[in-house]
Amino acid sequence: MTEKQTVNLKINGEEVEAPAGEMLIKVCHDRGLDVPFFCYHPGLVPEGNCRMCLVEVAKAPKPMPACTTPVADGMEIETHSGAAKDARADVLEFMLANHPLDCPICDKSGECLLQDHSYDHGRDGSRMVDVKQIKPTKDLGNGVKLWGNRCISCTRCVRFCSDIAGSGELAMVNRGDSSVVDVFPGYPLQNPLSGNVVDICPVGALISEDFLYQARVWYEKKTDSVCHECARGCNIELQTLNNEVKRIVARHNDAVNDYWICDHGRYTYDYILGPERSLECRLGDSANPANAPGFLARKLRKSADEHGADSLGVVVSAFMNNEALYLLGSLLQELGVPAENIGACARTDGEEEEFKGGFRISADRNPNRRGVEAILGKNAFSSHADDLLKKAKASGLRCLLLVSDMPGQPLADEWIEALDAVEFGLVFLLENDSRIPETVHLLPATAFSERDGSIINEDGRVQLLRAATQLPRGVLSLDELLQDALVELGARESRLSPRGLFDEMAGVVPALAEIRHGDLGEAGLSARGGEE
Amino acid sequence: MSGTPIEIKLFSKKAREFIEWLLGRYPNKQAALLPVLRLAEEEFGNIDDSSVMLVADTLDLSPGYVWGVLTFYTHYRREGDGKYLLQVCSTLPCALRGCDKVQRKLEEKLGIKAGETTEDGLFTLKKVECLGSCDTAPVVQVNEKYHENLDVEDLDELLETLRG
Amino acid sequence: MAEIKQEKFEKVLTKYVDEDGSATLEFYRGHGGYEAAERVLKEMKPGEVIEAVKESTLRGRGGAGFPCGVKWSFVPKETDKPKYLVVNADESEPGTFKDRVLMERDPHQLIEGSLISAYAIESHVCYIYIRGEYYDAFLTMQKAIDEAYEAGILGENVLGTGFRLDMTMHRGAGAYICGEETGLLSSLEGKRGLPKIKPPFPAVEGLFGCPTVVNNVETLSCVTHIFDRGVDWFKSIGPPGGPGPKLLCVCGHVERPGTYEVPMGINLLDLVNDYAGGVWKKRELKAIIPGGTSAKILTAEECDVNMDYESLAAKDTMLGSGGVIVMDEKTDMVNALYNILRFYAHESCGQCTPCREGTGWLAKICGRILHGTGRMEDLDLMIDLAQKMCGRTICVLADAAAFPCESIVRKFRLEFHEKINAGAGHERDIHTGGPLVQPGALSAHNQERLDELQGGH
């Protein structure tokens, strides 16, 4: 006999059909019902210890925790009855009994579940006049600090370290109201996913040193984007204040990274407005970036006319977004430059890491290798690049455009040397590079947080980036610059919006066929030929 | 993070043989944690940081995990405990029959408060909960042995015997 | 008054505990030991054993009083998971010390009962979880188990019947919560002794996720005699619905504290006066806690009650673990409650919010009252917090703390009033450390400020 797939139950008087075996809390949340919680997390095994999700169940002797109660046929539940509301208010009173009034100095303020639930479900005032429990404040390792007094023993962080990261550094220690999370002396938090425990801590017990006292969250602007530190393309949220990135946190995507990101991706953003950021514009006699499109168009056209289209070469990077790659390809196509003259460079591989809960860090440290392959062909990285270099050495190139926008990895020496051998050399540069000759033209490259566009991860998933920070003064969006250059060349009427640009690109690139910008949403979509 | 390197400890051959036997009694290694902690307690006299690491290593558990389990339980000898652990039962049935007096007298005689150890490392005084000997209250458990029907007058003799 | 005759009750469970060598296999066999088990294994089917225990209406002696046979019947018959029998020898309920007697003096009685029980639920692995402090009992049990293995009573071929049973002693390490059935299972699994969410219940999903039955030492010892002397014999002792011989632990302010084997249903006052020598030092009785500190207290006037599950439940308390704690007229009830609340605060595992925070909070409030800085509103606060802790947690430790709190404050309220009033004038304002003022008035500090501000007028 096959097991039943769905069950029928009543929630707040309404008949509901739900998948058999699913937890009540998920069924309620899926229907938009506010069943509050602390220890429950959809990415972790539920424990039911906070008691905040208690709901009234008919015929049950006491309220049941929704996160550990599977739905059953004939169940009748009230999520907002007097009994359920009382249970929540009472649990909150207990939870606040020993919790310090740290809100004014606590980073979590504004995104704290305890604050939110107290406001929504708690009672006014406190009856606790006794001395509160004192627990240690200490470093746990990897830039994670513990304010023990604030810990509510939900064990989310413990479960994360043991089940997802697999390293088990964190544990609840002691018993009763002396319980607190801690590490074994000499064995601090060390795993490459450690920053996630700060994301998931429902209160301000676990704090990131990186973000400590940097910004009040309600002033921040929050923008969806994709991490650029490896080919996984984990979904992130960039949080900015006054146009500066203050923090990167994980964004949920079941198809890519669940609820997690690695520490490297989380903490790598200082370079965006760092001291090495190149803002120099060197366009012949002019230092005015407004001249860039025209300058580029004229110079390239001139070189092609005088020396033949075959004398132009371009090296793109696997860091660039699809639209920029597409436009550069279009520009060169317009000038008749053969496809083989577009090469690509990539960041060197790192170590592949796989974790207990299934999270992976890719060995490929390039966010858009698949984009380059889809738009410029698989050979861009190999034969195109090699042949271009040979051509340059043999003085067969007159015009060379290089994109050096990979943080922490400057262009290989061979390409710098190649610049010496050409008449017209231009580098889109992210980070200062003293090797580049004075005669070479420069335009500042954009950082990923400044881009609106799309990239393709190693599984073939197309995901959207959104600009979180404004371009620094003097920096042009590469997509806009290239479109303007195409307008100058008469190949295009005007600029398109990011949406229009994507759709135009998708109409031309086979891997993106049938995908529209509007389909991508927050979670992206699998490209044709993708592995999903 | 501790600056002092943690000393590496090893179980004796006999202990390892016992652990082998023990692991055969449970379907996984983790279940043997409490008995193996007892073994470390017996073998090394108490459970200190290096014992935690040894136990963790022996059972393929993280040191953090073993630490969390160890600190939950109160009946393991820990680093700093004296040669004699004087555990004075203080729950209601013993309280009704004068365990406070016994505790205060012990504090007086040893010159320490509950939770502390004498300078010479001989005695640690602990206040513990119901030892399950309520009909012979007041009761003090010295290491593993119950000393029942302890009156204040008996304490001198007890301490003398222990001192040897 | 009870219908049970007040004649000397023929002891069964503790029949031999005072005799030399009672713990040895030789002694046990010499007195007919293991004959019942052999009969059961050779002549009865497991299902029949369960039915017999069900019929006997044996109820758990650990504290919950759940019908034993019914619990066994919850174990699924069809399953390829191993089934476990776990003996709960964690005995940590204050006022309880009966299992210790059984294990130290008649270990084979427990082993035989466990054998029959394991056979009934078709389990081949039995763990005895014994509290860490019971070292002598542990040694005795281990020796008895070794004897049993040697004699072919445990192991591959139990009593030549082909039944296989392995028994392992497992020592706890100082945690009352490991006496809670699922807390025990967590501890056995090598974890912090945290109780598990129920449902699923251990009989279906327990130790290592497999069907498990957890039974108390005394309960399993009763099983031995049910099959030695018969179901009818068992049912003839005490009231229907909860019969059998019962070990009651009398302690506190009595002349002769001790473990007494009596018929279920004996009158509490008879127990105290006829068996335990009455209240000590010729003092008056003030109160009795009848079932370990988790049971609600009975004032002296309420103590004329039979010691059985139903009768005590009818008086809004419980038989619980059978730990009878007697308090005389000089007992300071505030101190007694503080002692109890401190116990629960110390033993709370810390998993769920109401218990973790509530037990500590209650202890602190009571401590304040005891030490002279209590307030009148603290009494209703304690009762309210206690009530809010009940029914909201994973296990019933919170309830176990709430019951004595609510019952003692309510029944001895005047004593609490006196303590609070005695402290008045001497107690301190918790926030300023200065003299306490009536609620509503300004604190001394604020009064000063106000005077300053108004001084200019």
Q: What is the DSSP track for C393-449? A: SSSTHHHHHHHHHHHHHHHTHHHHHHHHHHHTTT-B-TTTSSB---BTBPPHHHHHH
Say whether both B96 and B154 belong to one domain. yes
Q: What is the structure's pLDDT at A524?
A: 92
Residues of chain B below pLDDT 70:
1-5
Cβ burial, residue B60 (10 Å; 0-12/13-18/19+): exposed
The answer on B148 and B88 residing in a single domain is yes
CA distance C375 to chain B (A): 24
**Nearest-neighbour CA in chain B from A99: distance (Å):** 22
pLDDT tens readout for residues A312-367: 999 999 999 999 999 999 999 999 999 999 999 999 999 999 999 999 999 999 99
Asked whether the beta carbons of C364 and C341 are under 8 A apart, the reply is no
| Residues in B lying within 8 Å of A, measured between beta carbons | 1-2, 6, 49, 52, 61-69, 71-72, 74
Q: Kindly give the residue spans of alpha helices, DSSP state H, lying in A261-348.
A: 263-267, 292-307, 322-334
Q: Say yes or no for a CB contact (<8 Å) between A95 and C393.
A: no
CA B10 to chain centre: 21
**Domains parsed from chain A with CATH numbers:** 6-95 (3.10.20.740), 130-273 (3.30.70.20), 289-526 (3.40.50.740)
Tally: H helices and E strands in chain A: 14, 23
**pLDDT band at residue A528 using 50, 70 and 90 as cut-offs:** confident
All domains of chain C in start order, with CATH: 25-235 (3.40.50.11540), 245-328 (3.10.20.600), 333-423 (1.20.1440.230)
Q: Are residues B99 and B155 in the same domain?
A: yes
- Kindly state whether residues B20 and B63 are assigned to the same domain: yes
Q: Name the band, by pLDDT with cuts 50, 70 and 90, for residue A490.
A: very high
Higher-confidence residue of A509 and B164: namely A509
Residue C391 in contact with partner chain A when CB distance is under 8 A: yes
C4 has a pLDDT exceeding 50 = no
Domain for residue B2, yes or no?
Answer: no
8 Å CB contact of A173 and B66: no
CA A78 to chain centre: 38
In this predicted model, what pLDDT tens digit does every residue of C262-294 receive, in sequence order? Answer: 999 999 999 999 999 999 999 999 999 999 999
C338 touches C363 (CB < 8 A): yes
The complex's ipTM works out to 0.96
Put simply, the answer to whether C132 touches B73 (Cβ < 8 Å) is yes
pLDDT-derived band at A421, boundaries 50, 70, 90:
confident
For A159, nearest residue in chain B (alpha carbons): B65
Where among B30, B45, B70 does a domain terminate? B70
Encode pLDDT of C135-168 as tens digits: 999 999 999 999 999 999 999 999 999 999 999 9
B positions 48-77 inside 8 Å of C (CB)? 59, 68-69, 72-76
Position B1 scores a pLDDT of: 40
Q: Which helix (H) or strand (E) holds C127?
A: strand C125-130
Put simply, the answer to whether C94 touches B90 (Cβ < 8 Å) is: no
B56 plus B98 within the same structural domain: no
Q: Is C358 helix (H, G, I), strand (E, B) or coil?
A: helix
C340 touches chain B (CB under 8 A): yes
Per-residue pLDDT reduced to its tens digit, C92-138:
999 999 999 999 999 999 999 999 999 999 999 999 999 999 999 99
C-alpha A172/C-alpha A155 separation (Å) is: 7
Are A83 and A38 within 8 A, CB to CB?
A: no
Neighbours of chain C (3+ CB pairs under 8 A): A, B
Asked if B68 lies within 8 A of A167 by C-beta distance, the reply is no
Cβ–Cβ gap B93/C325 under 8 Å: yes
B63–A184 C-beta distance less than 8 A: yes
> With contact defined as beta carbons under 8 Å apart, do C352 and A50 qualify?
yes
Mean predicted confidence (pLDDT) in A434-458: 95
> Domain of B110: which CATH number?
3.40.30.10
**Is residue B1 a part of any domain in this protein?**
no
Under the banding of pLDDT at 50, 70 and 90, the label for residue A479 is very high
C371 interfaces chain B, CB cutoff of 8 Å: no
pLDDT band at residue A125, thresholds of 50, 70 and 90? confident
Is the Cβ pair C175, A131 closer than 8 Å?
A: no
What residues in A contact C365, CB-CB < 8 Å? 130
- Nearest CB among C97, C208, C325 relative to B132 is that of C97
Look at chain B and report how many structural domains it folds into: 2
Does C361 touch chain A if contact means CB atoms closer than 8 Å?
yes
| Amino acid letter, residue C348 | S
Considering the domain architecture, whether residues B53 and B94 belong to the same structural domain is answered as no
Lowest mean pLDDT among A392-396, C31-35, C277-281, C403-407: A392-396
- Residues 73-102 in C contacting B (C-alpha not used; CB under 8 Å): 82, 91-97, 99-100
Instruction: Please report the pLDDT score of residue A347 as a whole number.
Output: 93
Closest approach of C343 to chain A, Cα-based (Å) = 11
- Judge if B99 and B151 occupy the same domain: yes
Sheet strands (E) in C301-402? 323-328
Judge whether B75 lies within some domain: no
Q: What is the 3-state secondary structure (H, E, C) of A358-378?
A: CCEECCCCCCCHHHHHHHHCH
Chain position carrying tokens 């994507």? A502
C380 vs C39: CA distance, rounded Å: 58
Say which residue the tokens 């010496």 belong to: A420
B58 lies in the same domain as B89: no
Q: How far is B90 from chain C (nearest CA, A)?
A: 8
Residue B18 contacts C, CB cutoff 8 Å: no
C contacts of A87 (beta carbons < 8 Å):
392
If asked whether residues B61 and B89 sit together in one domain, one would say no
Q: What is the pLDDT of residue A527?
A: 85
The reply to whether C346 touches chain B by the CB within 8 Å rule is yes
The answer to whether C428 touches C434, Cβ cutoff 8 Å, is yes
Q: Residue A531, SS3?
A: coil
- What's the pLDDT score for residue C442? 53
Among chain A residues, CA nearest to C380: A127
Interface contact C430, partner A, CB < 8 A: yes
State CA C138 to chain mean position distance.
19
C156 and chain B: CB distance < 8 Å anywhere? no
Q: Do B134 and C325 touch (CB under 8 A)?
A: yes
Contacts of A among chains (3+ CB pairs under 8 A): B, C
Listed residue (C233, C229, C275, C278) closest to C253, CA to CA: C278
State pLDDT tens for residues C48-58.
Answer: 999 999 999 99
- H or E segment to which residue A428 belongs: strand A424-429
A76 token code pair: 């009748």
B53 and B111 share one domain: no
Partner-chain residue, chosen from A139, A174, A183, that has the shortest CB–CB distance to B64: A183
Residues of C in contact with A84 (CB under 8 A): none
Residue of A167, A171, A175 with shortest CB distance to B67: A171
What Å distances lie between residue A44 and A215, A260, C209, CA to CA? 28, 11, 19
Give yes or no for C353 touching A (CB within 8 A): yes
Going by their DSSP bridges, the two strands C163-171 and C125-130 should be labelled as parallel
Phi and psi at C320, nearest 5°, equal 50, -130
Best probe of the A interface among C191, C194, C357, by most A CBs < 10 A, is: C357
How close A128 gets to chain C, by Cα (Å)? 8
What count of other Cβ atoms lies within 10 Å of the Cβ of residue A480? 20
Q: What is the pTM of this model?
A: 0.93
For residue C347, the chain B residue with the least C-alpha distance is: B129
Task: List chain C residues with CB under 8 Å of A130.
Answer: 361, 364-365, 368, 430
CA-nearest residue to C97 within chain B is: B132
Mutate to test the interface with B, among A187, A190, A191 (most CBs of B within 10 A): A187
- Contact A167/B62, CB-based, under 8 Å? yes
- Please tell me whether residues B99 and B140 are part of one structural domain: yes
Q: What is the CATH number of the domain that holds B21?
A: 1.10.10
Among C322, C198, C145, smallest CA distance to C251 is for C322
Structural domain that includes position B91: 84-163
pLDDT confidence of residue A346: 93
Q: What are the tokens at A529?
A: 């030929």
Is B6 inside a domain boundary?
no
The answer to whether C134 contacts B132, with C-beta atoms less than 8 Å apart, is yes
Neighbours of chain B (3+ CB pairs under 8 A): A, C
Q: Provide CB contacts within 8 A for A147, sequence distance 6+.
A: A102, A106, A137, A204, A205, A206, A207
CB-CB under 8 Å, A62 with C391 = yes
Residue A456's pLDDT is 97
Phi, psi for C245 (deg, rounded to 5): -70, 145
Q: What's the CA gap between A169 and A182, in Å, rounded? A: 8
* Mean pLDDT, chain A, integer: 94
User: C148: Cβ–Cβ under 8 A, 6 or more apart, which residues?
Assistant: C25, C108, C111, C154, C167
- Cβ pair A179:C350 closer than 8 A: yes
Has residue A130 got a pLDDT over 60?
yes
Which has the closest alpha carbon to C319: C353, C281, C288, C341?
A: C288
SS3 category, B70: helix
d(CA A177, CA A175): 6
CB contact under 8 A, A170 and B64: yes
| Distance of alpha carbon C381 from alpha carbon C58, whole angstroms | 40
Span C293-307, average pLDDT: 97
Min distance A63 CA to chain C CA atoms (Å): 7
Say which residues have a Cβ less than 8 Å from residue C302's Cβ, sequence separation at least 6.
C315
User: pLDDT, tens digit, for every residue of A56-90?
Assistant: 999 998 999 999 999 999 999 999 999 999 999 99
- In percent, how much of chain C has pLDDT > 70? 91
Identify whether residues B110 and B156 lie together within a single domain: yes
Cα distances (angstroms) measured from residue A358 to each of A160, A162, A166, A259, A361: 12, 13, 10, 12, 10
pLDDT at C439: 45
